[in-house]
Amino acid sequence: MTNQKLASISLFLIFSLLITFSTADSTVHEINGAVSDDTNYKKAEISIASDDQKYYFKYSFTTTPASRIGAFRFDFDQFDTASINNEVLCTFVEESATDSQIITALDSITKDTSACIGTFKENGIFDGIFKYAQSKKKIGHFAENGE
């Protein structure tokens, strides 16, 4: 495998989200933090209220991805194993989409129309893959906490 192909594989994103429970409003959290000096990965560290049922995230690509598939990871610091059946859904939106528009778009998708699939592991890690929208540079994620 050439270095260029290896570089494009390393561009698959792994979003490491460190989530703790505290008081916060339901907002769209931007995934833009650096991960151990590696520009191929981004993270967001957020605090959320324990009674929140939905968590919204967004990530903007600097360029339209050339590959068709990407990967991501949600890593919950505190995780109830009853949440193992919760869903994570994704959709691509226009780069100019506001947080309100992202929430509306995410709330309107289903598991069948989601741009991503994946599964929770018992230790609170969700590994997923998504299919890039070749014309859009912003992805929204939705994680649901509840029955």
pLDDT for 63-102, tens place per residue? 777 788 988 888 877 777 777 778 889 999 999 999 999 9
Pick from 44-58, 71-85, 126-140 the range whose average pLDDT is largest: 126-140
The reported pLDDT for the residue numbered 43 is: 83
Neighbouring C-beta atoms of residue 134, cutoff 10 Å: 11
Q: How far is CA 55 from CA 2, 50, 91, 98, 140, in A?
A: 38, 11, 14, 16, 11
Task: With cut-offs at 50, 70 and 90, classify the pLDDT of residue 103.
Answer: very high
Higher pLDDT, 13 or 75: 75
Mean pLDDT in the chain? Answer: 75
- Say yes or no to pLDDT of 26 above 60: no
